[in-house]
Chain A
Amino acid sequence: MIAESFPGASLLRIDPKAETDRIVAGIRDIVFNQLRRRGAVIGVSGGIDSSVVAFLCARALGSDRIQILFTPEAESSPDSLRLGRMVADMLKARSAVEDISQILEGAGCYKRRDEAIRLVVPEYGENYKSKIVLPSAYDASRYSIFSIVVQSPDGKTRKVRLSPEAYLAIVAATNFKQRPAR
């Protein structure tokens, strides 16, 4: 049951069967008729969004007409690949792993990101961990202000609000990753 108070809750009141049929028909039309392609390559992160896309594409095109691609990188959770493989296994679809760490490294992704973090956490260095956090989306009375949680090598964590410069630089640096939902 979806809480009535959640903003946009009414948007989720759909007929799942009818909606699935509509989307599947749309995928079929786009791939076979408009694009005139024989199938689809689907990047699967192990998260909910790409998993749903993979299942919809398999239903629309057939499992033998989809190729699943995993693109882990140095900082991906091992769960991502494990869950992604479960999707491929359930669909009996072909899959391949392409580790993109070297590509990200070469593009300066990690270096630029770390430099941006140091704008607000000067001591941030090797063996530190970080993630960007937002206040709960359920609290609609608050702005979505981005903070960064930083963990030092000795395990201490600290939360700092991002400056606009740091936020934009981090987003730009990590956009090399495929905007995974994690």
Chain B
Amino acid sequence: MPLEMASVTQQVRAFIVQNYLFDRGDQLTDDQSFLESGIIDSTGVLELVAFLEKTYGIAIDDDELIPENLDSIDRISKFLKSKLS
């Protein structure tokens, strides 16, 4: 199933804004670090991982649970692209 990456980025952004910014996402840039800006805590990471696994039908290994893959909208999009290709 080829996924349009632009729409993936949109979906991820919508999830982050809805769940962690309570629909106030005007300031959030695609390369902004979630950790550095305190957007996501440890429970948030669990929710994010569950959302990605469920929405895109993927299994994310423990080894993949690193900020490099999940710490911004850009990084998540890139990570998803490699998982889905």
Binding site for B on A (CB under 8 A): 135, 141-147, 161-164, 167-168
Contacts and interface: CB of A to CB of B under 8 A. Distances in A.
Contacts of B46: 145-146, 162-164, 167
Interface string B60-74: 001001110010000
A163 B50 CA distance: 7
* A contact face: mostly helix, strand, loop, or mixed: loop
Nearest to B61: A161
A161 B28 CA distance: 29
Contact of B43 (A135, A141, A161, A168): A168
Interface of B: 42-43, 45-47, 49-50, 62, 65-67, 70
Contacts of B66: 141-143
A154 to B, nearest CB: 25
B43 A143 contact: no
B62 A161 contact: yes
28 contacts: A141-B66, A142-B65, A142-B66, A143-B42, A143-B45, A143-B65, A143-B66, A143-B67, A143-B70, A144-B42, A144-B45, A145-B42, A145-B45, A145-B46, A145-B49, A145-B62, A145-B65, A146-B42, A146-B46, A147-B62, A161-B49, A162-B46, A163-B46, A163-B50, A164-B46, A164-B47, A167-B43, A167-B46
Nearest to A159: B62
B50 A164 contact: yes
A142 B42 CA distance: 11
Nearest to A139: B66
A182 B46 CA distance: 22
Contacts of A168: 43
A170 B47 CA distance: 15
Contacts of A162: 46
A137 B43 CA distance: 16
A137 to B, nearest CB: 12
Nearest to A134: B42
Nearest to A144: B42
**A-B pairs with the 6 shortest C-beta distances?**
A164-B47, A164-B46, A144-B42, A143-B45, A143-B65, A145-B65
Contacts of A146: 42, 46
A125 to B, nearest CB: 24
Contacts of B45: 143-145
Nearest to A146: B46
